[in-house]
Chains A and B, each alone.
Chain A
Amino acid sequence: MLRLALSALALVLGFSAAKAAVVWQGEAVIDTSTGQCSAEQSIAPAQGRVLRTVLRPLNLSDNGANTTITFIANQTAMFAMVLDRGAMPSGVAAVFGHDASGVIKANVGVPYSNFIQSPAVIATSTAEATLQGRIENFLYIEGCTVTFRAAYTKRND
């Protein structure tokens, strides 16, 4: 996998001011997955699987200049994608979290494509949002490519 140095990120290093961030929380459904996805049985993102996801759009409140999208698989693996300046529909995200064994993953480069967010620009007044797209090496599983659709609701706390 690729390691990326994201430009000028106030990423990592130290505890960020989470309480002032504005996020949307939801669920993602896996629509398609490649055969390699079954390699990690405890979290295999097969078609129809549902994952908790959080969307933290860029440039709102204390959210910073990038969009972060997290996925938690089976409350076992954490896959947090940082999209440089919220680049959509495609790019290479810097991914942080841990795999299904609890092994820390940091700044792992993951290609994504066909990302469509609605609304395209999210404001603090946006009540609901959706996101769909394609992610390679999903959940750090080599060769595991998925497509997904997610629906989000604004978190008010």
Chain B
Amino acid sequence: MKRLLAALAFATLPITSAAADTVFVGNVFIDFVAGGTNCTSTFAVNDTARVLYRPRGGALGNGGKGYLAYVTTRSSYVMLVQNNDFQANINYAGSGVGSKGNLISRAGGITVWQQNPPTLNAALPTVSIRGRFANFFGISNCIVEIRGNLVRR
């Protein structure tokens, strides 16, 4: 609509192209859930989802930002770690879309992180992860732990 576009300054943003990045994809299960009603009514132990893991690293073709996306059949939540590896005792920036089309933007913390192998390269066939996240899906004090084996795409 013209009203929307009036007097707005546009900034160009890069559109995704078929870059040679390194992404691992796989199924994860939820092993632990703790929090208020919003949390425990949304997530449960043994829930399953697809995860995309795009760790940071120039050698991976991924630049300085690491992403972990938790994707269900109708919602998704991405955790971004800038200029750092996914690890315990750091924060992430969360961004997502809930199952009712609600937009989510909230920071959270990583309290547990296990990765095998610990060092990644672009030729690895698989990587297994275990991570426990606070403020999961942007829900305050919602703690969820996931586990999965991911295959390089």
Residues A5 and B8 in contact, CB atoms below 8 Å apart:
yes
Known A70-B97, A72-B74, A75-B72; judge A104-B67 contact (CB<8 A).
yes
Chain B residue at smallest Cβ distance from A41: B18
Interface size bracket, B side = 35 or more
The interface bits of chain A over 102-140 (1 if a CB of B lies within 8 angstroms of the residue's CB, else 0) are 111110110000000000000000000000000001001
Residues B97 and A15 in contact, CB atoms below 8 Å apart:
no
Known A21-B102, A52-B73; judge A1-B1 contact (CB<8 A).
no
Task: Name the B residues within 8 Å of A137 (CB-CB).
Answer: 15
Instruction: Report the minimal beta-carbon distance from A9 to chain B, rounded to whole angstroms.
Output: 9
Residue among A17, A39, A55, A70 with the highest chain B CB neighbour number at 10 A = A70
Q: How many contacting A-B pairs (Cβ < 8 A)?
A: 155
Residues A101 and B101 in contact, CB atoms below 8 Å apart:
no
Residues A75 and B50 in contact, CB atoms below 8 Å apart:
yes
Task: Name the A residues within 8 Å of B98 (CB-CB).
Answer: 16, 18
Which of A5, A16, A72 makes the CB contact (< 8 A) with B76? A72
Interface size bracket, A side = 35 or more
Which of A16, A25, A40, A101 makes the CB contact (< 8 A) with B67? A101
Which of B1, B65, B101, B138 makes the CB contact (< 8 A) with A84? B1
Residues B15 and A12 in contact, CB atoms below 8 Å apart:
no
Residue A68 CB within 8 A of the other chain: yes
> Interface on A for B, CB 8 Å cutoff?
1-7, 11-19, 21, 23, 25, 39-40, 42, 52, 54-56, 68-70, 72, 75-76, 78, 80, 82, 84-85, 87, 91-92, 96-106, 108-109, 137, 140-142, 155
> Interface on B for A, CB 8 Å cutoff?
1, 3-5, 8, 10-18, 21, 23, 25, 38, 50, 52-54, 65, 67-69, 71-76, 78, 80, 95-106, 138-140, 153
